Structure 1
Amino acid sequence: MLLQSLVHLASKLFIGGLNWDTTDAEGLRNYFSQFGKVDACTIMRDPAGTSRGFAFLTFEDPNAVHAVTAREHFLDGKSIDPKRAIPREEHLRNTRYFVGGLAPATTSESMKEFFTTYGKVVDATVMLDRESGRSKGFGFVTFEDAANADQLVGKNLVLDEKQVCVYVMLLLRSGLTVSLD
């Protein structure tokens, strides 16, 4: 049973950066089926039923996840960002940080590159405005572990020539998140 759970976790993808018009889970499933048999595909939606711009997809074979993450993907006219899904339990280790005060030119890639000096970055995402596609001025970075938290929180960090503020994100059992400085 434990082995089956581990295989399931290793077979699950988070797919970020979806076009807001990508609302058909079957189309997403069809695209990713070129990498292996897809067991499940869910586009996440808000209470009104509108796409939240990301999805979760589970393959039958964990090797398909490696095949997907080894290359770039474009779907519905937009570059998408598939990566191994991080179980909620991993977020409870306080490895996710809110990064505020980002420069307009800061991208997810430049933020990830900046934070790699503080540890292995699992994910870095600059939040974008749905209408304009411009940065909202904040984002999130997730590390493999919390070993360097003291080097991040409350420090004078400068990213893309702008001072940024970093807060630890805590995922509560209710699903709500809070930031602590």
Structure 2
Amino acid sequence: MKDRYIGQSRGFGFITYANPLVVDKVIEENYVINGKQVEIKRTIPKVSVQSRDFKTKKIFVGGVPTTIAKDNFRKFSKYGKVVDHQIIHDLATNHSQGFGFIIFNSEQVVDDMLVTRVI
């Protein structure tokens, strides 16, 4: 993706695969582009989000203070069993980027959180 005004890279991009099952394999690998390790994430198509057909066990948590440890994400276990949690850090400096992800054991937990507007 490029900045529309100055034409420079915004530091991220998207790839669409013909077979969505390939994404799981791609995410498991480490990649280096132009000498920098890059982070690979799954995206949710806008059409799926709008139609509410998309199911996921993973939530995004933004606005996280940089002083918060990832173990604080365990507090989300009051909504359901937390399988994994992480705060994203800058690869070069290891400083928190102020957001993270929580993966629950069930898609139903995330659905329930959305219905009750917890997230």
**For the superposition of Structure 1 and Structure 2, which TM-score range results when normalised by the shorter chain?**
0.5 to 0.7
Shift of 1:80: 0.9
Residues 93-115 of structure 1: per-residue CA shift (max 9 Å, x gap): xx433234314xx8xxx74xx36
Q: Partner residue of 1:35?
A: none
1:82 to 1:137, Cα distance in 2 relative to 1, 3 A: closer
Provide the rounded CA distance (Å) in 2 between the counterparts of 1:67 and 1:78. 20
* Count of aligned pairs between the two proteins: 93
Aligned 8 A contact 2:87 2:98 in 1: yes
Q: Partner residue of 2:62?
A: 98
Residues 84-134 of structure 1: per-residue CA shift (max 9 Å, x gap): 1123428x9xx433234314xx8xxx74xx3662335687534x5xxxx54
Q: Select 2:88's aligned residue among 121, 125, 139.
A: 125
Higher share in strand: 1
Q: Which runs of 5+ in 1 are unaligned?
A: 1-43, 154-167, 169-181
What SS class does the counterpart of residue 44 from structure 2 fall into? coil
What SS class does the counterpart of residue 67 from structure 1 fall into? helix
Aligned 8 A contact 1:69 1:83 in 2: yes
**Length-normalised TM-score, structure 2:** 0.52
Provide the rounded CA distance (Å) in 2 between the counterparts of 1:140 and 1:67. 24
What SS class does the counterpart of residue 96 from structure 1 fall into? strand
Q: Partner residue of 1:139?
A: 98
Shift of 1:50: 1.4
Q: What amino acid is the match of 2:88?
A: T
Q: Which runs of 4+ in 1 moved over 6 A?
A: none
Q: Partner residue of 1:25?
A: none
Aligned 8 A contact 1:73 1:81 in 2: yes
1:77 to 1:70, Cα distance in 2 relative to 1, 3 A: same
Aligned-CA RMSD value: 3.8
